[in-house]
Amino acid sequence: MNINTKPDMSLGLSETQAQAKIAREGFNELPSSKPRNLFAIALGVVREPMFLLLVACGTLYLILGDVQEGLMLLGFVFVIMGIELYQEKKTEKALDALKDLASPRALVIRDGSEKRIAGRGRGDR
């Protein structure tokens, strides 16, 4: 005598089982990354080797006594840093907008028939 206590998975979940799983476990989705704040972006820019080299060169100019050249170089370095910060922030906003536009879909089996739903589970209702 073979007692099968597992439901037949070829039929998939019923709509009520799917809703219960979503309520209990949440949506089946990848965690989104936290947006970086301005300080984290600035830290990433400052740690770039080219930026560090330019700051070191500007500092060296100041130490050697060529104040005008040193200040000019450091001024341009900080202008470039500001532009890069602006571009990084703009890029993050564009990527977030693209992520919101993307609509991943999933093929699931509900009550024995295939059904295409939104990847997050919104079409599961």
Establish if 1 belongs to a structural domain.
Answer: no
Residue found by looking up tokens 């301005």 in the block: 38
Q: Which of the two residues, 9 and 25, has the higher pLDDT score? A: 25
With vertex at residue 85, the alpha carbon angle to CA 81 and CA 86, rounded to the nearest 5 degrees, is: 120
Establish if 81 belongs to a structural domain.
Answer: yes
Q: Which of 6-10, 22-26, 83-87 has the lowest mean pLDDT?
A: 6-10
Establish if 4 belongs to a structural domain.
Answer: no
Establish if 2 belongs to a structural domain.
Answer: no
Q: What is the mean pLDDT of residues 87-107?
A: 80
When mean pLDDT is compared over 26-30, 40-44, 54-58, 117-121, the highest value belongs to 54-58
Query: For the whole model, what pTM was predicted?
Result: 0.56
Each residue of 43-88: pLDDT tens digit? 888 899 999 999 999 999 999 988 999 999 999 999 999 999 999 8
Confidence of residue 32 (pLDDT cuts 50, 70, 90): low
Q: Please, are residues 23 and 119 in contact by the beta-carbon 8 Å criterion?
A: no
Establish if 3 belongs to a structural domain.
Answer: no
As for how many domains the chain has, the answer is 1
User: Position 14: which residue type?
Assistant: S
Establish if 87 belongs to a structural domain.
Answer: yes
Residue 35 clears pLDDT 80, i.e. is over it: no
Confidence of residue 2 (pLDDT cuts 50, 70, 90): very low
Q: Which two tokens stand for residue 100?
A: 């919101």
Confidence of residue 121 (pLDDT cuts 50, 70, 90): very low
Establish if 72 belongs to a structural domain.
Answer: yes
Per the structure, the complete domain to which residue 58 belongs is given by 10-26+35-124
Establish if 57 belongs to a structural domain.
Answer: yes
Distance CA 95, CA 117 (A): 24
Q: Which residues, including other chains, have CB under 8 Å from residue 45's CB and lie 6 or more apart? A: 51, 81, 84, 85, 88
| Cβ count near 73 (within 10 Å) | 19
DSSP single-letter state for residue 119: T
Q: Please, are residues 110 and 18 in contact by the beta-carbon 8 Å criterion?
A: yes
